[in-house]
Structure formats: C-alpha cells, structure tokens
Chains A and B, each alone.
Chain A
Amino acid sequence: MIRTSLLLLLLHLAGAMVAQEISFTATVDRNSIAAGEYAKLTVTLSNSRESFQAPDFGGLVVVQGPFENSSFNYVNGRMSSSAARTWVLTGTDPGKFTIGAAKVRIGNGIMQTEPIVIEVTKGTAKPSDASESQGQQRDSNLFATIALSKGKARVGEQVVATYTLYSRYANIELSKYELPKMDGFWAEEIDLGDTNWEDQLRTVNGLQYRVAVLKRQVLFPQRSGTLRIAPIELECIVNRSFFNRGSLVKVRSNVVELNALALPSNRPEGFNGAVGEMGMTVKVDRNTVKANEAIELTVTYTGRGNLKLIEAPQLNFPNDFEAYDPKVTDRINVTGSGMSGSRSFQYLVIPRHEGGFSLDPIVFSYFDTQQGAFRTIHSDDLTIEVTPGDGGPAAQVQRPNKMDVEVLGKDIRYIRTGDLDLEPAGKHLFGSMPWLLGMGTPALAFLLFLGWRKKQAADSADVVGTRRKRADKVARERLNEAEQALRASDRSTFYDALGRALHGYLGDKFAMGPAETAAANIKDRFTAFTNGEELAASYIELLEACDMARYAPVEDRPRQQLYEQAAELIRRTEQTARA
C-alpha cells in the first residue's frame, strides 16, 4: 500500500525531488501489551518537510508525548532527512485496539500509514517469548509465512510459493529447518543462492522486521480440489552470544490452501498435460537427403508453464524410416515468476529408400491459462525428398537382414465397399416359380421335340403315302410350268409340261412307273373311285389331246381351255380321293 501510493507520489513530484524517496511509516515497539504497560508509537516522515496529523489512537491513552525528533544526513552528495514524533501509549481495558492511519498532504496527494492493531491482555502476565507458540498464534518477534502467488489455479498451472522468515531478534541461528511435505503437487525449487536478510525492513502491524526469503518453489497442482500446504516448521536459537546460551524458539508458519480447478473435460487430441502459455516449432535440418543419410528433426516447445512435464511427441514416420529415440534438451529457467524456457526433442531419422515422403503434422495441445481454454497447434506438413544414395540404387545391394513381419496389433479387416451384391431379403431362387419354370421349360420343349421327331419318322417310313400326298403338290408345280409356257405362247413347252403334269400326277397318285400310265391302266386304277370311269375317260381324253398337239400341228381347242380342264380334273380327283 505504501509502495503504491509512494510510487504515485513520485510520479507527481518527479521534477522536484530527484532520487529522494519520501516515506511515511508508523511503527510500534510492541503490539501486545498487558493492561497498564506501555507501547511506543513512532510516526516517521522522511525526505519531506510537511507536517503531519497525529493518528487516531483508537481508545488507547497517551501517557507521554509527543516527542519530536529530526535528523539530517548528507552522505556521498545525497541529502536525506527525517522527522519523527513519538507517543507513549497505554491501555487500561483488555481487548484489541486499532491505531488509525496518520496522514500527510504532499503536493496534491495524501500519504497514509497503515493501521496498527495493539492487543491489550489482562493483568501483568507477560507474553512468553520463548514458549512454544501454538498453531496460528505467533510470536510477534519471530514468525514465518508461506505465501502463494495465487489462491486459485488450474491443475497443472504453475503457482509460486514463497517461504519467508520475519524476525525482530538481532541475532538468530536456524538450527532445524523442516520443509512441508508436498501432497498433490509437483514442486520445482527456485535457486535463490544463499539465504540473506533483505536490506529493507518490513513493517507488519506496526512492528518492523528483518525479512529473509528462505525458499521459493514453483508448484504444479496435480489434482483438483482444495490442496493444503502443511506449515513450515523452524527451530531457531535467538540472542546467542559469547555470554548467553540464547533461547530456543520454535516457529510454525501458517497453513496455506490452494483451490485447484480441474481442466475442462473437452480435452483435444494431442493433449498430454501441458498447461501454461506454450508454443511449438518443428524444424528439419534439410528437406532433401540421400538415402541412408541422417536427418535431424527437432520439435521445440517454448513458453511458460509445466515444460518439464511435456513428453516426447508421438511421431508417425513413414515405414522404412529408421527413427531413434529423441534427445531431450532443456533450457528451462525456474525463477520467481515461475518456470519458463524451452524443451526440445531431437530425432535422428534415417530414410532407407528414395522417394518423396510427407510426415503427418505434429499436433500439440495445451491448456492456455490466460484464455482459460485449450489450444491446439498443428505443425506444417513436412515433406522430405529422399534421393538415391551414393552410387545410385546399386549401392543398396547391401541387404537388410530378413525378419518376420512383426504383428503389432490385431484388428478386424476393413468393411466391403462398392457393390455388395445385394439380393432382396428372404427371396430364394431355389424352389421358386421362376426356377421351376426354368427347369420345366427345357424338359417340356424336349418332350415336344421328341414327339415331333417321332411323327416325322413315321411319315418317312410310309414312302407310298408320302408320294400320294405329295402328288397333288407336284402336279400343281408342273401345271404352273405349263401356265408359264401358255403365257409365253411357247407351244411345244406348254404341251410337254401339261402332258408331264398329268402323267406325273397319275404316277404319283397310284404309284405307277412312267411306262404304266397307259389308258388301260388308268381305267383299272380308277375303278375304286366313285365316279372313276368318268374321271379315267377325262384323263385319257386329255392325254390324247396333249399327245396330238405335241406331235402333230393340230390343236382341237384353245390352249387356255385345255389348261383349265387339266387343272379342274386334278382338283376333282383330289376331292374324290379325300371323300
């Protein structure tokens, strides 16, 4: 408080007072008195001539004073002055009395001293200095404190703990010094060098103390919840001198609690406990390399936080890359402001075959304490071009030792993609109607085919029957020939064709040879027909007419009429034969 107002003031008076600090303090020689005893209050103003008001004594009685005292120093060309007023106070009733702040107006600002609490106890019993002080109740001449840089922190967030010893004894020796056990923390010592008394006295509740920082630690909470730091315990021998054995004072500091908050549950990929303000750089010493030559891949984490807890990142090197365990290099400073610096992992990688390779980006996630959220850093894609080793591929004749393929893990095989040969569920071809049809149709077709074949065979076995059946058809064909000759007015061909048609027809019909178609034979054959005689006569008459016309240039009727008669006759014969 004093320091801040002091600073403000200095800013105001920067021009006027060069390098001369104004200080305004109130101190007491003791802050615990028995009723009727005296305590001395001194208010000191340094390096200023202003007059200040007396503080409110808060119920305490002024026995003597104020006494005024001022001094003036000139050291190494530097002036310093101070003015002090001293009161002797006493309390009659037991209780706690607060001496208010003394105020002084300097320039446009007001400086204040800190209030002081005086405890007045009953009777004349003196507070025992050398006796063991219990718990929080502290010996006002010697005590220790533990102070944390913050009372609330995330798991893994760094907190600085300072262990301080306050003493009003002139002569003090630490004989025993027990540090508290750290439960739930990971602690990192801050190197302070030798423990020394600080130059400046510190005023606590009006009493001035010499102060020594015994130890500083950077603490990283490891679990969430209220974490307790056990008190620090000291044993000191005070006031030892050549003539005096001194007395033993046991000191026990306060107990400090830290409220550790759990990290949010949405932990991203690549998070391995890093908390703080971090950064990552990935560096490859060269992107083009010959096969079998080494490259160096360096992953560096920099920042402020629990750097020492960062583990080597999982890198997926392509197969046929030989990678060695990384070399870890720490440049980590542990100071009063916490842990900062860098940790780098250096991988030595040897590609064994040429080709272009790309490494998966390295993912690093940490909890940003400033933002109170996770952040993820992806490195750029790394591409490495591997050229054939010295002497080209031939140099790779040196074969690696053959070894069994190592089974690293077991997993099911991948799913089928593309066409899955889907069939409607519950439908089966076997036994279905299409299947039965498919089986039955060829069988039926075959049976039909067999039947047709059989009939065919039976027909061809009956030669005469076939000839008779075909007689009409053959005759028509021949008559057709005759008709064409008739149209062409080809006389000899017409008679020739017509004669052959009639002879042929009769021959086929009655299974006769060409020579047998004489008039007598014809009559004979036609006897079986109903009007056989008439038909036979017509045939004989027509055949004669044909013969006549063929061999003699006599035509007893027109050719057209002759042709029609022949056709009519064959038609009638067929009709009769079927009847």
Chain B
Amino acid sequence: MKTKALLFFLTFAPLWAHAIARIEADSLITKGTRAYAEGDHRTALVYFDSVATTYASASLFYNIGNCHYKLNDVPHAILFYERALRLAPGDADVRANLELARQSVVDRVNELPLFTLGSTWSELRGGRDADQWARRSLWAGLLFFVLLSAAVILRGAWRKILYGFSAIALFGTILSIGFASYRHQEVTSTDAAIIMAPKVDVRSEPSNSSTVLFVLHKGTKVTVLQQSNDWSEVKLSNGNVGWMPPSSLERI
C-alpha cells in the first residue's frame, strides 16, 4: 500500500511541482498587482520580474513594461512592450502604451507605423500566438482525418459532401501549420533589439577608430544583422547600417 502511494507520488511529482510553481507565480503576480495599485512600482517590478524568469506571457511583459515606464525607464518599457507585442501582435493595450513610450524616444527613424495591421488577413496571421496556431493545426488535422475516414465508410451523396469538407479541413490544417511555423520563427528570433545606452555612436567599421556614421539614443529599435565578440552590425528601419558595441543594446 505504501509503495503504491509512493509510486503514485513519484509518477505525479513533476505535475505537482509544476502546479505548486504555478500557484506561487500567481501569488507573486497578485502581490505585484497590489504594489502597482498602491503606486509602489519598484516593488511591483521585482515581483513581476521574478515570475518572468520561469514564465512568459504577453500580459506579464506588458505589466513589466508598465512598471518600467512608471519608473521613467523608457528603453526597458519599450523592450518589454515589444516582447509582449511579439507574443500578441494584436494587443491594443500594448500598442497604445508602446506608442506613448515611443513618444519620448529622441530618434525619429521613420519608425514603421504601429497601426498598419488593419486588414483581416494580417490580423488573422499575426494576431494569434504561435502556440494557438499550433493547437489549431492539431484540431484541424484531427478533423481532416475523421472526415476522411467517414467519407471512406459512407457511400453516395454523403461521401462526396464529406470529401469536400475534408478538403476544407486539409486546407485549414496546412494554413494553420504555416502560420504556426511563421509565428514560431517570429517569436523565437532575436534579431530585433532596443538601444539601452543613453547615447551610442554607430560606426562604419567594427573598430573604435572608424568614422562615426550616426548617433542613436536610448529606446530606438534596431535589427541586429550579425554579431562578433565586441561589435554588432545593426540596421535601422530606414536602411542605415553600422557597427556598435552590443553592450549598448538588448535583444527583444
């Protein structure tokens, strides 16, 4: 009997651990929310940050971004809003706050406007989490095979109708796999970065003696093309390319 209980416990131990960690994270978030409501943004940030070491979600990153914004740390606020946006590109709250945070960025580098995702197609493509699309692809795949099996069994008019439906399901499956893979790539790529240093010189070559091409300020978003030990090659959204030390930026 005892061994059975032990066996049971051992089997489910990982699940327990996971559940306990989850409860702990929830209580940390509750504490953080309370601290934020009381205006103690620094404490709230500590709580949210400790959850973010093991968990990720657009809302969590959004909250952390808010804390940074309230503490007047605009570059970090932008960084976390961008992270939240990557997980949930359609989130209106994140967009609104990011827009506001970007207003205090010094550099105006023809930033791509945020609200271009108007059409249903891009909403559909980008508005969902990668995992959500992956789940969808699983359901669509299951539906496809069930419909196909039913079509094989049945005869006559029903068979034709079910073949038609299963074709639709197949299309849906392929589409959702495509989106899931696209979003997965988007979420896992760390090409984009935010400038963290108050001011950084961007040079023509990866050496301190080279010409300064332009100067960037904190909060500006760049794309990292390549990185060697002490230098990163970055590209601005207006196409300018140059080298800067990677310590001055943080990847989204």
Q: Which residues of A contact B (CB under 8 A)?
A: 410-417, 420-426, 428-431, 435, 438-439, 442-443, 445-446, 449-450, 453
Considering the chains assembled together, what is the distance between the CA atoms of A415 and B96 in angstroms? 12
13 contacts across the A-B interface (CB closer than 8 A): A414-B66, A415-B63, A422-B22, A424-B54, A426-B56, A430-B181, A430-B183, A442-B142, A442-B144, A443-B141, A446-B145, A449-B152, A450-B152
Q: How large is the interface on B (under 10, 10 to 19, 20 to 34, 35 or more residues)?
A: 35 or more
Q: Does B134 lie within 8 Å of A425, measured CB to CB?
A: no
Contact of B63 among A416, A435, A446, A453 (CB under 8 A): A416
Q: Does B149 lie within 8 Å of A438, measured CB to CB?
A: no
Residue of B nearest to A422 (CB): B55
Q: Does A422 lie within 8 Å of B25, measured CB to CB?
A: yes
Contact of B131 among A416, A422, A430 (CB under 8 A): A430
Contact of A442 among B22, B29, B59, B145 (CB under 8 A): B145
Q: Does B69 lie within 8 Å of A420, measured CB to CB?
A: no
Given A422-B22, A422-B25, A429-B135, are A416 and B145 also a contact pair (CB < 8 Å)?
A: no
Q: Does B134 lie within 8 Å of A429, measured CB to CB?
A: yes
Considering the chains assembled together, what is the distance between the CA atoms of A367 and B243 in angstroms? 57
Most chain B CB neighbours (cut-off 10 Å) among A413, A416, A445: A416
Q: Does A430 lie within 8 Å of B180, measured CB to CB?
A: yes
Given A430-B131, A430-B180, A450-B152, are A425 and B138 also a contact pair (CB < 8 Å)?
A: no
Give the shortest distance, in Å, between A93 (CB) and chain B (any CB): 76
Q: Does B148 lie within 8 Å of A412, measured CB to CB?
A: no
Considering the chains assembled together, what is the distance between the CA atoms of A449 and B29 in angstroms? 49
| Residues of chain B contacted by A446 (CB below 8 angstroms) | 145, 148-149
A-facing mask of B6-39, CB < 8 A → 1, else 0?
0000000000000000100110010001001000
| Residues of chain B contacted by A410 (CB below 8 angstroms) | 100
| Residues of chain A contacted by B55 (CB below 8 angstroms) | 422-425
Residue of A nearest to B91 (CB): A416
Give the shortest distance, in Å, between A407 (CB) and chain B (any CB): 12
Given A413-B97, A442-B141, A449-B149, are A425 and B56 also a contact pair (CB < 8 Å)?
A: yes
Give the shortest distance, in Å, between A64 (CB) and chain B (any CB): 86
| Residues of chain A contacted by B184 (CB below 8 angstroms) | 428, 430-431
Give the shortest distance, in Å, between B142 (CB) and chain A (any CB): 5
Q: Does A425 lie within 8 Å of B54, measured CB to CB?
A: yes
Considering the chains assembled together, what is the distance between the CA atoms of A551 and B195 in angstroms? 109
Give the shortest distance, in Å, between A453 (CB) and chain B (any CB): 6
| B130 interfacial contact with A, CB 8 Å | yes
Considering the chains assembled together, what is the distance between the CA atoms of A417 and B148 in angstroms? 44
Q: Does B135 lie within 8 Å of A443, measured CB to CB?
A: no
| Residues of chain A contacted by B145 (CB below 8 angstroms) | 442-443, 445-446
| Residues of chain B contacted by A425 (CB below 8 angstroms) | 52-56
| Residues of chain A contacted by B141 (CB below 8 angstroms) | 438-439, 442-443
Q: Does B56 lie within 8 Å of A422, measured CB to CB?
A: yes
| Residues of chain B contacted by A426 (CB below 8 angstroms) | 56
Residue of B nearest to A425 (CB): B56
| B211 interfacial contact with A, CB 8 Å | no
Known: A430-B133, A431-B184. 12 other contacts (CB 8 A): A412-B66, A412-B97, A416-B63, A420-B57, A420-B63, A422-B22, A425-B55, A429-B135, A430-B131, A438-B142, A446-B149, A449-B149
Q: Does A420 lie within 8 Å of B60, measured CB to CB?
A: yes
Q: Does B33 lie within 8 Å of A415, measured CB to CB?
A: yes
| Residues of chain A contacted by B70 (CB below 8 angstroms) | 412
Give the shortest distance, in Å, between B252 (CB) and chain A (any CB): 14
Q: Does B57 lie within 8 Å of A421, measured CB to CB?
A: yes
Residue of A nearest to B95 (CB): A413
**What is the interface of chain B mostly: helix, strand, loop, or mixed?**
helix
Considering the chains assembled together, what is the distance between the CA atoms of A208 and B120 in angstroms? 101
Most chain B CB neighbours (cut-off 10 Å) among A428, A446, A449, A450: A428
| Residues of chain A contacted by B96 (CB below 8 angstroms) | 412-413
| Residues of chain B contacted by A420 (CB below 8 angstroms) | 29, 57, 59-60, 63
Q: Does B130 lie within 8 Å of A428, measured CB to CB?
A: yes
Q: Does A416 lie within 8 Å of B181, measured CB to CB?
A: no
Give the shortest distance, in Å, between B18 (CB) and chain A (any CB): 8
Residue of B nearest to A413 (CB): B93
Give the shortest distance, in Å, between A414 (CB) and chain B (any CB): 8
| B237 interfacial contact with A, CB 8 Å | no
| B207 interfacial contact with A, CB 8 Å | no
Within 8 A of A (CB), among B126-140: 130-131, 133-135, 137-138
Considering the chains assembled together, what is the distance between the CA atoms of A470 and B191 in angstroms? 70
A-facing mask of B143-167, CB < 8 A → 1, else 0?
0111011001100000000000000
| B101 interfacial contact with A, CB 8 Å | yes
Q: Does B97 lie within 8 Å of A416, measured CB to CB?
A: no
Give the shortest distance, in Å, between B112 (CB) and chain A (any CB): 21
Most chain B CB neighbours (cut-off 10 Å) among A414, A422, A450: A422
| Residues of chain B contacted by A414 (CB below 8 angstroms) | 66
Considering the chains assembled together, what is the distance between the CA atoms of A425 and B142 in angstroms? 27
Give the shortest distance, in Å, between A427 (CB) and chain B (any CB): 9
Give the shortest distance, in Å, between A36 (CB) and chain B (any CB): 81
Q: Does B130 lie within 8 Å of A430, measured CB to CB?
A: yes
Considering the chains assembled together, what is the distance between the CA atoms of A435 and B176 in angstroms? 13
Contact of A429 among B62, B130, B188 (CB under 8 A): B130
Considering the chains assembled together, what is the distance between the CA atoms of A413 and B95 in angstroms? 10
Residue of A nearest to B94 (CB): A413
| Residues of chain A contacted by B212 (CB below 8 angstroms) | none
Residue of B nearest to A450 (CB): B152
| B187 interfacial contact with A, CB 8 Å | yes
Given A425-B56, A449-B149, are A412 and B69 also a contact pair (CB < 8 Å)?
A: yes
Considering the chains assembled together, what is the distance between the CA atoms of A442 and B25 in angstroms? 36
| B244 interfacial contact with A, CB 8 Å | no
Considering the chains assembled together, what is the distance between the CA atoms of A416 and B84 in angstroms? 12
Give the shortest distance, in Å, between A541 (CB) and chain B (any CB): 49
Most chain B CB neighbours (cut-off 10 Å) among A410, A415, A450: A415
Considering the chains assembled together, what is the distance between the CA atoms of A414 and B66 in angstroms? 8
Considering the chains assembled together, what is the distance between the CA atoms of A431 and B229 in angstroms? 31
Residue of A nearest to B98 (CB): A412
Q: Does A415 lie within 8 Å of B25, measured CB to CB?
A: no
Residue of A nearest to B183 (CB): A430
Q: Does A416 lie within 8 Å of B187, measured CB to CB?
A: no
| B194 interfacial contact with A, CB 8 Å | no
| B51 interfacial contact with A, CB 8 Å | yes
Considering the chains assembled together, what is the distance between the CA atoms of A276 and B96 in angstroms? 47
Considering the chains assembled together, what is the distance between the CA atoms of A424 and B148 in angstroms? 35
Considering the chains assembled together, what is the distance between the CA atoms of A28 and B59 in angstroms? 92
| Residues of chain A contacted by B29 (CB below 8 angstroms) | 420
